[in-house]
A and B are shown apart, each in its own frame.
Chain A
């Protein structure tokens, strides 16, 4: 960004995220092109180019330090790349937006470590995540409407926490927190969901349910899942992208990827 533009962005951070919504007329919802991010000389992302199709469920795998989390940071506005472009649909330049603006534009993110508001009840967590106006004055007077209440109940059912709605989120088990966070993601009604290791610390049953949930979300939403659990990846993914040293190493179906010689070398250690 040019310095003046940068200054203007700093001075007026509250410029509303574009209201036009994401334009997916070319069937691609996310464009990352030539993204490079360096931390003290270490290239976390190195000329990364990646496209995500609308309605797709994509799994991203890669060894530790491959740049998976950094990639999510770039998409959600937490980290600014040194070079490259990132577009959400045809029109929305992600590199110009702040984290809340990106969230408002329709990208939801689940962290690796479940991050919920521990002092709030399950219900309040979902209420806070609910899509809609999120500026100070309206929220000061906000009252939950009937459709909103129904929406929360619906999500509570999806994440199987309907009998825990008044529980303090901090009192939930690890797996339940993971689900609550997924529920919060659903409340945001994002076009694109970024899900970082959703089944870490889950029981096999919970993992299975999560797989079902994520698969059912694809189609209406686009879902990007970062995961280490290969069985889980196999159970949900049609397309898998392998990252290595901040770069796309291979892309294709899980079988293609697992039989790829380069992938075997760097990732599967064979």
Chain B
């Protein structure tokens, strides 16, 4: 979305001005965007202040998850659509990026085939499937990264919301969606590398993916996209359309009876959210260097919802806090006490639900009681 007209710009400024938590978040994000490159690239390797490439990648990963969490919070926190399938859109974006990266490998693969990715040579395929055409071009791959999840989300939303499927039934169908995609992507004959997925990437737009500068640029792209997504989401939720969406969450039939086509709002919000998730996935894959069907696993989508719940839903920045906190905890636990991670996550979720219904950010923000 572009903010061209004066009215839109002033609306945007107002949307940010009314959002104290968001301001804090954007400032922290800006600081991260400045400090991390300095500590990583300018500070000498041996110094205690030096930030390793590993840490940068880890941070980049957290920020991708944060973007995914923002996407989920937008539909769940603001519209009450509890999507337990958003990891599917994340994975689709990842696959689109992965397809481009696979084509970039070219003849440097193990089998040295100039066109076919290694797994196709291994499967004894003679030519590139039609749906791989064009993915050697970055712009095309990125266009597909936006279009494919958008179309899927739109169709899914259109069928589900037109039929007025809501609540737990909708959540179950979203789980089915991601599970079905996982099963499909596991199949070798789908042409997406089966259970191994894609890995062993070499470069992106000609830049070596293993080079520190490339990785830093990817990290900064993630920072930028997260900031942009945040501001755009904020613009949406602070607009009248955003208020309609929240009205649908609180009293759907009332919204219908005052003349809003509830389905249209849900479909567009869901589609936009899916695109955000997809962008997160596309940024994630070159940084972690692998994409495989396990990204579609139903548990992944559920985890995202847990991040949002722990951070505090319906605030956008809460989702980011939740995603970063939980994933940091995950990194720590899976290193220190791997067998306890899932218990810890479960306990965390239960405790937040019981004692912090407004999430971690609810601890610091004042509850609005009488005034909205």
Contact = CB atoms under 8 A, between A and B. Distances in A.
B326 to A, nearest CB: 26
A194 to B, nearest CB: 9
Interface residues of A, number: 40
Interface string B72-96: 0000000000000000000000000
Contacts, number: 109
A201 to B, nearest CB: 18
B4 to A, nearest CB: 10
Nearest to B1: A140
A117 B80 CA distance: 14
B240 A115 contact: no
A78 B372 CA distance: 30
B370 interface: yes
Given A111-B254, A167-B371, A141 B261 contact: no
Interface stretch (B57-65, B245-253, B353-361): B245-253
A118 B369 CA distance: 11
B369 A171 contact: yes
B344 to A, nearest CB: 32
Given A134-B261, A136-B264, A103 B239 contact: no
Interface string B180-202: 00000000000000000000000
A118 B250 contact: yes
B260 A134 contact: yes
A120 interface: yes
Interface string A128-147: 11010011100111110000
12 contacts: A13-B162, A14-B264, A103-B257, A108-B258, A116-B254, A117-B246, A120-B246, A120-B372, A129-B258, A142-B240, A168-B372, A171-B369
Interface in B217-251: 236, 239-241, 243-244, 246-247, 250-251
A100 B244 CA distance: 13
B240 A140 contact: yes
Contact of A100 (B162, B236, B262, B372): B262
Contacts of B369: 168, 171
Nearest to A111: B254
Given A115-B254, A136-B268, A104 B246 contact: no
Interface in A75-125: 76, 78, 98-100, 103-104, 108-109, 111, 115-121, 124
Nearest to B259: A103
Between A76, A118, A120, A136, the greatest number of chain B beta carbons within 10 A of the residue's beta carbon is seen for A136
Interface residues of B, number: 33
B263 interface: yes
Across the A-B interface, the 4 shortest Cβ-Cβ residue pairs: A121-B372, A103-B259, A139-B241, A140-B241
A166 interface: yes
A142 B370 contact: no
B240 A168 contact: no
Given A140-B236, A142-B239, A143-B11, A117 B368 contact: no
A166 B371 CA distance: 6
Interface in B132-180: 162
Interface of A: 10, 13-14, 76, 78, 98-100, 103-104, 108-109, 111, 115-121, 124, 127-129, 131, 134-136, 139-143, 166-169, 171, 184, 188
A128 B240 contact: yes
A169 B368 CA distance: 12
A117 B258 CA distance: 12
Given A117-B254, A120-B247, 18 more contacts: A99-B253, A99-B257, A100-B260, A104-B259, A108-B257, A108-B258, A111-B254, A128-B244, A134-B259, A134-B260, A134-B261, A139-B239, A139-B240, A139-B244, A142-B240, A167-B371, A168-B368, A171-B369
B48 interface: no
A107 to B, nearest CB: 9
A119 B236 contact: no
A135 B372 contact: no
B25 interface: no
B265 A136 contact: yes
Given A117-B251, A128-B244, A171-B369, A140 B264 contact: no
B242 to A, nearest CB: 8
Nearest to B239: A140
Between B251, B258, B264, the greatest number of chain A beta carbons within 10 A of the residue's beta carbon is seen for B258
A220 B369 CA distance: 38
B239 A109 contact: no
A136 to B, nearest CB: 5
Contacts of A103: 256-259
Nearest to A166: B371
A134 B261 CA distance: 8
Interface string B1-28: 0000001100100000000000000000
B17 to A, nearest CB: 15
Given A135-B264, A166-B372, A100 B256 contact: yes
A184 B258 CA distance: 8
A39 B180 CA distance: 37
Contacts of B370: 167-168, 171
Given A103-B257, A115-B251, A127 B371 contact: no
Given A167-B370, A171-B370, A128 B247 contact: yes
B254 A100 contact: no
Interface string B333-372: 0000000000000000000000000000000000011111
A63 B255 CA distance: 29
B256 to A, nearest CB: 4
A169 to B, nearest CB: 8
Interface string B255-289: 11111111111001000000000000000000000
A10 B110 CA distance: 52
B328 to A, nearest CB: 31
A198 B124 CA distance: 74
A100 B8 contact: no
